[in-house]
Chains A and B, each alone.
Chain A
């Protein structure tokens, strides 16, 4: 099977067992450039595990994942991870590094020229709404939760990776900040043509950001649908999620 040029990620018959429990069962999924595929599901449905299988923080038990047409197990894991942006809920910024150093981590690992790193970091901090003149030399402890997540996004984008993995990046933020960052993410996505795999348990967020929603239930795919089709509520699990928000499945 020859994936077309815009396919960034292919997940084939992926299953994952941790201990003697199967977390994921026979997952098949393709993500193309410019697409935001949202993995939606309850806590413990396996969505984070699926995300971590992609950059090999967790090794799959069966099946394979192709990143840019090449099996993840054939990549040098360090090289591959530097080509995959990763944003998590707790930001995970290095507390002893400045905002600029945090954002420039991957270019530094890739041995870019210091001048090129600085230029790239300034561009990205600007893009995520943190003017470098004000923020570049601050430390993470001097930032609000929303600002930390912005730096986390800048760090993930620094080396211009074709794929972004985002694990509930906005879940810990207050509703107003969350909405701002969701808007910002939408705006940036429009200009960047990146493939994104986005984990959330928030159906509103899924409907707002997804080009496709992948609903996971007990480690298996329950439904793949565009946001519009998701609203039709064709499975029990989809209806359960829709019922959880105001206006429910009828809208």
Chain B
């Protein structure tokens, strides 16, 4: 039981970390691109918004029959979790960069900085607190949503929860729910700590 708990917790962590990593790798550069192209902004944000409104169990179900990306197992779950994590990261990165004071940006241009220098030396550093807040929201919600991934055979702490529901065993449900909740709280606190430490100004 204990060894299963440990392995399911690790599996859960793996689902979350891979999903968040991939989502961040897509959403942060995506958001940077969107700050340069106002025209595309609405389209991509509404796509991410719509994905967010699909119930997670339904999304896992939709992905199952799709060739290559679907099917039983971890990768399907990771794709779904990733889609959910995209919006908070994308939106917070956008807000962080677009929220840079107009006078600061105007000065940067007028002092002769190139767009690349402005992005790396001004916009991104100033957007870091907002980006970290987005990562925090995405991580905490993904830890919760990932319990449902057990329904499509992706493993994780949801295994205990679904088994507990099937066998009407509250202890079993709690064995899955409590570690997931603890993980979410720890992730929240940890990322908040990093967020606070980051802003020296």
Find the B residue at minimum CB distance from A139. Answer: B201
A contact residues around B3 at 8 Å (CB): none
On whether the beta carbons of B107 and A86 are closer than 8 Å, the reply is yes
Chain B interface extent, by class: 10 to 19
User: Does chain B have a CB within 8 A of A96?
Assistant: yes
Give the docked Cα–Cα distance between A90 and B104 (Å): 9
On whether the beta carbons of A96 and B106 are closer than 8 Å, the reply is no
A contact residues around B106 at 8 Å (CB): 57, 88, 92
Beyond A78-B112, A79-B112, whether A92 also contacts B107 by CB under 8 A is yes
Give the docked Cα–Cα distance between A165 and B107 (Å): 12
From A81, A89, A96, contact of B110 by CB (8 A)? A81
Interchain Cβ contacts within 8 Å, total number: 64
On whether the beta carbons of B107 and A93 are closer than 8 Å, the reply is yes
Q: Encode B186-200 as 1/0 by CB contact (under 8 A) with A.
A: 000000000000001
From B104, B111, B117, contact of A95 by CB (8 A)? B104
B contact residues around A106 at 8 Å (CB): 111-112
User: Does chain A have a CB within 8 A of B98?
Assistant: no
A contact residues around B117 at 8 Å (CB): 109
On whether the beta carbons of B103 and A92 are closer than 8 Å, the reply is yes
A contact residues around B111 at 8 Å (CB): 81-82, 86, 105-106, 109, 155
Find the B residue at minimum CB distance from A108. Answer: B121
On whether the beta carbons of B113 and A96 are closer than 8 Å, the reply is no
Find the B residue at minimum CB distance from A105. Answer: B111
Beyond A55-B110, A96-B125, A109-B113, whether A88 also contacts B103 by CB under 8 A is yes
Find the A residue at minimum CB distance from B105. Answer: A92
Which of B105, B111, B201 has most chain A Cβ within 10 Å?
Answer: B111
Minimum CB–CB distance from B117 to chain A (whole Å) comes to 7
User: Does chain B have a CB within 8 A of A141?
Assistant: yes
Q: Encode A64-90 as 1/0 by CB contact (under 8 A) with B.
A: 000000000000011111101010111
Minimum CB–CB distance from A113 to chain B (whole Å) comes to 19
Grouping DSSP codes into helix (H, G, I), strand (E, B) and loop, the B interface class, with mixed when no group exceeds half, is helix
Chain A interface extent, by class: 20 to 34
Minimum CB–CB distance from A196 to chain B (whole Å) comes to 15
User: Does chain A have a CB within 8 A of B126?
Assistant: yes
A contact residues around B201 at 8 Å (CB): 95-96, 139-141
**B91-143 CB contacts (< 8 Å) to partner A:** 101, 103-114, 117, 122, 125-126
Find the B residue at minimum CB distance from A155. Answer: B111
On whether the beta carbons of A92 and B104 are closer than 8 Å, the reply is yes
Minimum CB–CB distance from B105 to chain A (whole Å) comes to 8
On whether the beta carbons of B112 and A96 are closer than 8 Å, the reply is no
Beyond A139-B201, A141-B201, whether A90 also contacts B113 by CB under 8 A is no
On whether the beta carbons of B126 and A88 are closer than 8 Å, the reply is no
**A195-230 CB contacts (< 8 Å) to partner B:** none
**A27-68 CB contacts (< 8 Å) to partner B:** 55, 57
Minimum CB–CB distance from B18 to chain A (whole Å) comes to 31
On whether the beta carbons of B112 and A81 are closer than 8 Å, the reply is yes
Give the docked Cα–Cα distance between A82 and B108 (Å): 11
User: What residues of chain A have their CB less than 8 Å away from a CB belonging to chain B?
Assistant: 55, 57, 77-82, 84, 86, 88-96, 105-106, 109, 139-141, 155, 165
11 contacts between A and B (CB under 8 A): A78-B112, A81-B111, A81-B112, A91-B103, A92-B103, A93-B104, A95-B101, A105-B113, A109-B112, A109-B113, A165-B110
